[in-house]
Chains A and B, each alone.
Chain A
Amino acid sequence: MSGSSIPKDLSPKRKRMMEMILALGGMKEEQVIPPSKVNEAIDELKKELSPLVDDIVAFPDSYFTKFLSTAKKAEIVSEIKNNVVLKDAVTNIEKTIEISTTGALQDFLKSLIDTLEASESAGKEKDVFTERLQEATSKIETDPETALYLLQQNFGITTRYGQPPCHVECPAGVRTQRFVNLARDKRFDEALKLMRDTYPFAGTLGRVCNAPCESRCQRGLIDQPVSIRNLHRFLADNERASGKIHKPTPSIDKTERIAVIGAGPAGIGCAYDLARMGYPVTIFESKPKNGGLLRWGIPEYRLPRDVLDEEISYVQQHGVEILNNQRIMKPSELLTKGYSAVFVGTGASSSRKLRIEGEDANGVFHALEFLDDINMGKTVKLGKRVAVIGGGNAAIDSARVSLRIGASEVSIVYRRSREEMPAIETEIEDAEHEGVNLKILSSPVKILETGGKVTGLRCVKMELGEPDASGRRRPIPIPDSEFDIEVDSIVVAIGQGIDADDYFADLEYTEWGLIQTDKQSLQTSVQGVFAGGDAVSGPATVVKAVGAGKKAAISIDRYIREGIVSQEIASPRIITATIDTEKAQATEERRAAMPMLEAEGRATTFDEVELGFDAKVAKIEASRCINCSISNMDVTVYGGRIDPEATKPMMKKFLQDEVERGAILALVREKGPLTSKNLTDLTGISQDKVFLHLVQMKRNEELVIVGEEHGYVLYDVLRTPTEVEVAIQTVSNTVLQLAQAKREIETLLADLKAEDIGKLAGALETFSRSRDKLTKVSIHDSIIAETILSKVEEKIQAAVLLAIRTRAKLPSTRPKVTVEDLTNIDVPSVLEEYKSQMGYAPLLGFGTIEWTHSRCLGCKSCELECPEDAIKLTPVLRIPEIFAFSDDALAELPVNRSLFYRTVQSLATTKPTDNILLKKESPGFGSVEVDLWLCVACRTCVRRCPGPADGALVLDLKWSLPEVVRQITSQT
């Protein structure tokens, strides 16, 4: 014990700390635990470990063998596209092989290297990809639009430049985004004017259009598309409501007269454009009223007639003359009667026949004639039970009309599924709300009749097969599934065509019975006669008919001015804007619901069902537009108009940037991580620009930095590692760690010394951690070598535990210190020393702390003052103990504290048996808990505790190490 006496001039606190260090081990250790005992402990550890160790160190090899064979079988290496993953794996495995060579690993390494080399050399070859990309990039300066178009088509590059998809999709070419923007800024008149630049039918199409624009609306990718059609309608309604209806002045300044046959959407659309170009136009209409199918085919509750009339009259105000009850037999004759050109827009206005038995029976109607009659005001003798055959808008209209004229039971029979019904979805829903039954996947096979009168409909059940040419799944009859429906009337609404009686003798027709025209110019077989709309395309939508009329107007103008019709009008390359929905700043509003008449009762009237938006709803709805195309934002976000001239140069720069960034993105996506230098070489774009783009794209989170190569930063797109990549990454990391740990264990066990036990425990823990990681590795959804991993689990844990326990038992593993060392030594540095050798926080002072609940005020003073953060006021109310406080203990407490406990007791009806776990720390309440691993027995808490008498805490110093260790281990 010489030299171990403690100098007397030390401060009491330091003195006590030194006593603790000495007691802990230090110089006394040899006396406390003789070397023989130490050796005994080590021998015992060795003995206990030996049955475990072999299995433990052998497990990586058996695991990897299994992994490699699985990997080989599944050919996972070839699945890896990410070279960075490959390179990392190669490095790790190379290092592993340096430590311990395994044949299987060598093979694996080789396959990795081969894949890596193959993918790298593949990149050097000229391929289609590079050629296509170069084609695009070579046009950056001269024709950036085409370049961007090519990128969009070939590489799926998205851009906010270009036309908004809603506009691209509109057959009539409405400047959708612009008018929506204007509506958002409450410039309703301007918006309507913009729409009238395209067509006169804001109110009409605002009601009946099938709105292809909405199907492509980018907002729809986020939640629901902007209600573009209803905004059309609002603009028209708004003008009507204001009473200030725009009165156009005709601007007929040309002499060439033009004839239009048919006052339907195609004819009027054509006439409107021609009149505005300055041509005098005459429309010949065979019926007494105008509008064609708009009038005869669409019921009034969907399209009030005054709206239609007003919009047609608006066209007339442009100088268009409409002659009713004029049936033209030969369009070409008009050319001889002073008309310079003729447009035929006669539509396809007769219903297609079912061609099944019984179709001629009394009580079978055909939709168009049926609707026509009703719209003309004729009485239709319809039975109470009606079946409507078909799934288009005409079928829905027929069904809803049937309800309105007295039918009580209406079914729609349709042979495909509901999803495939071509009718407008909301119309189908409305019909259902009004009480129409849907009998889907049913095809009529026979109309049942008695005495020439319909009595029922025989149908067969259908199932859906492969998709057909229209993209819809073809219905196939289910054998022996016929069933009958009892009905009084049947409305056939399976489509329209041109009646044989209506063919023009001088025009050529296709085999489908439609007028033959040139696709581009819409000229018929007769020079100077053009045709469009349903008569050419077959039954289609109103907006398509309008679009065809507009297209014909352009051809006619060109024909008159230039005398020729170019057979080839190059179709423009249209870049369609798209938006990254993740980054779109969409406001939260939901799509505005269309206010409706109450379903109850409306089915019996022809009042308009949809009531239209008001200005407030329209503005909100319009503001839902996320302006996916920046080239089309005529209005700034502040509502100011943008001068297109001012934006032009800006746009050009933007466009070029888009092309360059698109090319960079396409390259990185295809080739994996690239540097600015690689990209310069591959694209020919100057390096500084590439750099700027990269920085910008990094900021936009389109690219991420993944590493460095020859001093250049490597950029890559964010790739989610595949299962296989994760597997390779994890396994190649753990293989190295395990090899190192294995070597360490083997070396240590060869000659185990007391001071190495910490290291041994560490190496064993590496095994434990790696094993856990490997249990998460899977290839093609199945965990590899699960049995191997689970078998070894217990053994590893047992080994780790053994090492740790022995480490705790042997103070000789702690650093030896002398009093001389201690006198001047910094206490924290000693602690550090302990930590590095022991692998855990040091035991400096030690003892047990007793907490007297009845004296604790929950004030947290002990926790606040503890220099080691060893003591905590935990949010646990040991309420059963509170009931056990003696009267003496309560009397000791400060007045309010004891009042609190007494009140609780006086209110209680039951004596609680469980502690209360409080949700959070609550000042004044809780239980004190001490972490003896951290406690250095400095007594600060005991001295600080303000509780009554001596306070709530008692520290019992323990000088006998084993006893403390026992106490601590039993606690954890």
Chain B
Amino acid sequence: MSDNKSAVLLCTCGKQLGLSYNLLESELKKNSLTASVTVEDLVCQEEGLAKIGELLTENNGHLVIAACTSQKIQPRIDQYLKKKKIDSSQIQYVNIREHSAWVHSDVDEASKKSLDMIRGTLARSATSVPLVLETKEITNHVSVIGGGIAGIESALSLSNLGYDVNLMEVSDQLGGHVRHLPIIAPSGKPGKEILSGRLEALEKDAKITILTKTRVKFVTGEMGDFTIHYVTGDCDDELTLKTSAVVMATGFKEFEPIGMEEYRYGKNPDVVTQFQLSKMLTEGALTRPSDNGQVKEVVMVQCVGSRSEDYKKDCSKLCCTFAIDNSLEILKQIPDAKVRIVYMDIRVPFENEMVYKESREVGVDYIRGRISMVWEQDGKTRVKIYDSLMDEYLEVTSDLLVLSAAILPPDGTFELSETLGYALEDNGHIKELYGKLRRNETRRRGVVAVGAVTRPQFVSESVTDAQAGALILHNELQGGKIQTIMRGAVLNVDDCVGCSLCAQQCPRGVPLMIEQTDSEEVDEDQKILFKAAIDTLNCHACGVCQSLCPSGATQLNFLSNDQMWSEIQATLEGAGPDYPITLCFYCEECAVSTIDIVGTQKMEYPASTRFIPVPCAGRVSIIDILKAFESGAGSVMIAACETDRCHVGGTGNEIAQVQVDVARDILNAIGWKGERVDMFRMFSAEPERFTTAISEMARRAKELGPTPVHTGTAGKWMEVGK
């Protein structure tokens, strides 16, 4: 038996489809790619399913099932075959019910269309390869970068879930910012108390290795097999560590207002930041830094560097609460001190409102306005405050001027993003995959971000985050077995020319460009050569890389260029000047459900239409479109998801649009009618939109008449020129 032949299984859907099965059977038997033709009444029932198993084994997995929509039938078949341990990955589906019999009342026309589509699918099936779901045994090891409250909590949670954990902290002590906070709203407990239980647990926990004074330089590899390159202690030598997943818990950095001259920070020792004050308050009696004198008057300034066009544009969320916490602590230590908080708006979320009230009761003075001047006079710091509510200027002496500086993403977040592959927000924080449903996940599988590194977060929020992050990883790693995705892009590195189009346009940022360098000393004139690398764990199998690749180096393993082109050719075999065919590529996300609904509602549209499924509209390249015309299509359409609703991650349909637009322009330029190709977008349940679109394209095919391919003028331009 020839290996490119496939069995065909035709389903009559309980003998209720208006198709001429005799014609299908006899015509298909003539096809050189057909191994056998079987007609079943109900493929989805036990008998039919058994037949599938039988045909698969007989034909090395090459099977074309022409039945109802694969959306309905495929899960059932997959489930059945999985139980029987038969590989179903090569089965190709043709929808002759919703896409043909139910929408065209003319039996001859519907049969003709079904036959064409089955013929096309046979061509696709001829070169299909078995796809294997690979599982990989990995070590139960996770690394947590950052030893603040979020990192500690993640480490403990992961250890409880059964993982060995490396907790890596850049400073010499665990605890991060929390260690230095005198009071934490709303609990009112000092930071040390909040940490103490957790630190004890850490110490007792044999599964957690703590590495302090450790800085991560970069990370290589993918989920299940990351290698962390780091330096530790006072030694500069780079060490490595194997781990299966990474938790980014690097917290935040307080903005240093050195550039803001007006506050005299860095010039006057009595001007400190809010976090520096926290540290002073936890370290002993509060004194004036300049001369260790008594602190009686404190002025705090909010929003230093936050909500500012020049620095950080948005609110830093935490600083109001920090300032209030600190002012309460000051009044606890020095009851007769005068604390003034100069603010724009006080923003204390959650129950933190209670501390705000408390602070008002104990006499913290809130002044709405800004500081207009800070200067030193007779050894004292003088502050001029503009009170915008009273429209007055106040001049006060301050023993301590505290700046509530903005909360920024920590150093190194950007540097690590290059090798860890997570995306960043505009403000430098780590971007979560989807704010609503996929929080804490990053663009890279196996890397989660928890705590303030994603946005300013309170202690309680960071703790919840940390636990959530641990659970997400547990979901991916559980049992120490991870699964690679069966369907995806495969890269043939030898063919890669290094153009980086795939890396630029992949909706998921999967391909990475790796520089090909042999030696350290690179000659300045030598070519900079890159090659792509595809992390199959992250691939969503949309095919954008394939449609853009100039060399065919990356291709989807279930829909190679050859498969696609031979399918186009075979589907359009019957096309000609007398029978203008509209070829429709539809994405298997929104478009397929809409087209299926059209079928279930039995809405008629012209039968001169043929369908080819693609995983995402972005898979359709300009060559595919041109090939369709070359094979005789009268018009070509792409049915895709709505703008901004691309299901593979946002840009697949935009890439498709580019291909269509360019194809159109080119067709116009070479003496064709550009309207022959168009793209239509639709939500998943918009039957009218689809029927209008396809009727329009069928109309165009008819009205624009035979194409140059039909009339034999295509490619004759040179004669014209001469």
CB-based contact A894/B550 at 8 Å: yes
Given B501, B552, B715, which contacts A895 in the complex, CB threshold below 8 Å? B552
Partner of A896, one of B552, B708, B713: B552
- Bound-state CA distance A893–B495 (Å) is 12
B54 at the interface (CB under 8 A from A): no
Binds A, one of B202-210, B524-532, B696-704: B524-532
CB distance B662 to A877 under 8 Å? yes
Q: How many residues of A contact B (CB 8 A)?
A: 52
B120-128, B178-186, B357-365, B623-631 - the one binding chain A? B623-631
Contact B715 A907 (CB under 8 A): yes
Kindly state whether residue B315 has any CB partner on chain A within 8 Å: no
Chain B residues with CB under 8 Å of A503's CB are: none
Q: Which residues 541-570 of B sit at the A interface, judged by CB distance below 8 A? A: 548-552, 561
CB distance from B370 to the nearest CB of A (A): 14
Nearest-CB distance from A709 to chain B (Å)?
13
Name the B residues within 8 Å of A916 (CB-CB).
665-666, 669
Are B672 and A861 in contact (CB-based, < 8 A)?
no
CB-CB under 8 A for A879 and B661, given A896-B551, A924-B501: no
The reply to whether B501 and A859 form a contact with Cβ atoms under 8 Å apart is: yes
How long is the Cα–Cα vector from A652 to B629 in the complex, in angstroms?
77
Q: How far is the CB of A522 from chain B (nearest CB, A)?
A: 56
Within A875-924, the residues touching B (CB, 8 Å) are 877, 879, 883, 893-897, 899-900, 903-912, 914, 916, 918-920, 922-924
Cβ–Cβ contact B525 & A943, under 8 A:
yes
Whether the pair A943, B670 counts as a contact (CB closer than 8 A) is no
Q: In this assembly, does A780 line the interface, its C-beta being within 8 Å of a C-beta of chain B?
A: no
- Known A896-B552, A907-B670, A946-B530; contact A922-B714, beta-carbon cutoff 8 A: no
- Cα A531 to Cα B713 in complex, Å, equals 96
Confirm or deny: A676 has a beta carbon within 8 angstroms of a beta carbon on chain B.
yes
Contact indicator A943/B526 (Cβ below 8 Å):
yes
- Tell me if B655 is interfacial: C-beta within 8 Å of chain A: yes
Contact indicator B550/A857 (Cβ below 8 Å): yes
- Does A12 have its Cβ within 8 Å of any Cβ on chain B? yes
Determine the distance from Cα of A951 to Cα of B527 in the docked complex, in whole angstroms: 9
> Measured between alpha carbons, how far is A896 from B708 in the docked complex, in Å?
23
A905 & B525 in contact (Cβ 8 Å cutoff): no
In the complex, whether A944 has a CB less than 8 A from a CB of chain B is yes
Number of A-B contacts (CB under 8 A): 150
Q: Which residues of A contact B390 (CB under 8 A)?
A: 688
Contact between B501 and A922, CB atoms less than 8 A apart: no
- CB of B623 within 8 A of CB of A908, answer no
In the complex, whether B709 has a CB less than 8 A from a CB of chain A is: yes
Residues of B within 8 A of A947 (CB): 497
Q: Does B306 contact A (CB under 8 A)?
A: no
Residues of chain A with a CB closer than 8 A to B527's CB: 943-944, 951
A837 to B533, CA, bound (A): 48
- B456 at the binding interface (Cβ < 8 Å): no
| Complex Cα gap A384–B623 (Å) | 77
- Chain A hits for B709, CB < 8 A: 907
Q: In the complex, A906→B717 CA distance in Å?
A: 9
Could you say which of B391, B561, B715, B720 contacts A676, with CB atoms under 8 Å apart?
Answer: B391
User: Which residue from B526, B551, B667 sits with its C-beta under 8 Å from A897?
Assistant: B551
Q: In the complex the two chains form, is B524's CB within 8 Å of A919's CB?
A: no
CA distance A903 to B661 in the complex (A): 17
**Complex Cα spacing A699 to B158, Å:** 51
Q: Which of A687, A858, A896 has the most CB of B within 10 A?
A: A896
B608-628 near A? 1/0 per residue, CB < 8 Å: 000000000000011100110
- B670→A896 contact, CB < 8 A: no
| A-side contacts of B293, CB under 8 Å | none
Alpha-carbon gap, A13 to B523, bound state (A): 10
Give the complex CA separation of A893 and B655 in angstroms. Answer: 22
CA distance A859 to B495 in the complex (A): 16
| 8 Å CB contact of A908 from B621, B665, B670 | B670
Asked whether any CB of chain B lies closer than 8 Å to the CB of A691, the reply is: yes
| Interface hits, A1-45 → B, CB 8 Å | 12-13, 16
Give chain B nearest CB distance to A267 CB in angstroms. 60
CA distance A860 to B498 in the complex (A): 12
| Given known A-B contacts A903-B626, A918-B662, A919-B661, A897 and B720 have beta carbons under 8 A apart | no
CB pair A906–B714 under 8 Å, yes or no, is: yes
Query: Which residues of chain B have C-beta atoms less than 8 A from A925's C-beta?
Result: 658, 662
Residue of B nearest to A875 (CB): B662
Contact between chains at A911 and B720 (CB < 8 Å): yes
Instruction: Give a binary string over B657-687; 1 marks a CB under 8 Å from any A CB, 0 the rest.
Output: 0100110011101111000000000000000
A907–B500 touching, CB < 8 Å: no
Cross-chain contact B626 with A912 (CB below 8 angstroms): no
Residues from chain A with Cβ under 8 Å of B505 in the complex: 923
User: What residues of chain A lie closer than 8 Å to B720, measured between beta carbons?
Assistant: 909-911
Within 8 Å CB of A897, what residues of B?
550-551
A946 contacts B497, C-beta separation under 8 Å: yes
Closest residue to B623 on the A side, CB-wise? A900
Report whether A12 and B499 are in contact in the complex, using a CB–CB cutoff of 8 Å.
no
Choice from B498, B528, B551, B713 contacting A909 with Cβ under 8 Å: B713
Check if B716 is an interface residue, CB within 8 A of chain A. yes
B714 touches A909 (CB 8 A): yes
Query: Does B435 lie at the interface of the complex (its beta carbon under 8 Å from any beta carbon of A)?
Result: no
Of the listed residues B389, B708, B717, the one surrounded by the most CB atoms of chain A closer than 10 A to its CB is B717
Given A896-B623, A910-B670, the answer on whether A946 and B499 have CB atoms closer than 8 Å is yes
B501 near A894 with CB under 8 A, answer no
Contact of B671 among A899, A909, A943 (CB under 8 A): A909
Q: Which residues of A contact B552 (CB under 8 A)?
A: 894-896
Q: How far is the CA of A877 from the CA of B667 in the complex (A)?
A: 13
Q: What are the residues of chain B within 8 A of A879 when measuring CB–CB?
A: 666, 669-670
Residues 485-500 of B, flagged 1 when their CB comes within 8 A of A and 0 if not, give 0000000000101111
Residue of B529, B626, B713, B720 contacting most chain A CB atoms (<10 Å): B626
Inter-subunit contact B672/A907 (CB<8 Å) = yes
B504 within 8 A of A: yes
Q: Say whether, besides A861-B499, A894-B497, A922 and B658 are in contact (CB < 8 Å).
A: yes
Q: Which residue of A lies closest to B720 (CB)?
A: A910
With both beta carbons as reference points, the residue of chain B lying nearest to A915 in the complex is identified as B669
A860, closest chain B residue (CB): B504
- A contact residues around B498 at 8 Å (CB): 861, 946
Residue pair B721, A923 in contact (C-beta under 8 Å) = no
**Contact A859–B500 (Cβ < 8 Å):** yes
Per-residue interface assignment for chain A, residues 363 to 383, with 1 indicating a CB less than 8 Å from any chain B CB and 0 otherwise:
000000000000000000000
Contacts A900-B622, A906-B714, A911-B720 given; does A923 touch B666 at CB 8 Å = no
Distance between Cα atoms of A916 and B389 in the complex (Å): 62
B629 and A907 contact, CB distance less than 8 A? yes
Separation in Å of the B384 CB from the closest CB of chain A? 12
Report chain B residues within 8 Å CB of A903.
Answer: 623, 626-627, 630
Contacts of A920 in B (CB 8 A): 658, 661
In the bound complex, what is the Cα–Cα distance between A859 and B532 (angstroms)? 13
A residues near B626, Cβ cutoff 8 Å: 900, 903-904, 907
Q: A905 — which chain B residues lie within 8 A by C-beta? A: 715, 717
Choice from B495, B658, B670, B713 contacting A904 with Cβ under 8 Å: B670
State the Cβ distance, A434 to closest chain B Cβ, in Å.
Answer: 38
Chain A 666-689 per-residue mask, 1 if CB under 8 angstroms from chain B, else 0: 000000000010000000000110
Once the chains bind, are B672 and A909 in contact (CB under 8 Å)?
Answer: yes
Known: A877-B665, A894-B497. 11 other contacts (CB 8 A): A13-B524, A676-B391, A691-B391, A895-B551, A896-B623, A906-B715, A909-B671, A916-B665, A916-B669, A924-B548, A924-B550
5 shortest interchain CB distances as A-B pairs:
A894-B551, A859-B499, A909-B671, A908-B670, A910-B671
Chain A to chain B contacts (Cβ below 8 Å), 20 pairs: A859-B501, A879-B666, A894-B495, A894-B551, A904-B666, A906-B714, A907-B626, A908-B670, A909-B720, A911-B670, A914-B669, A916-B665, A922-B661, A923-B548, A939-B524, A939-B525, A943-B525, A943-B528, A944-B527, A946-B499
Interface residues of chain A, those whose CB is within 8 Å of chain B, are: 12-13, 16, 676, 687-688, 691, 712, 857-861, 864-865, 877, 879, 883, 893-897, 899-900, 903-912, 914, 916, 918-920, 922-925, 939-940, 943-944, 946-948, 951
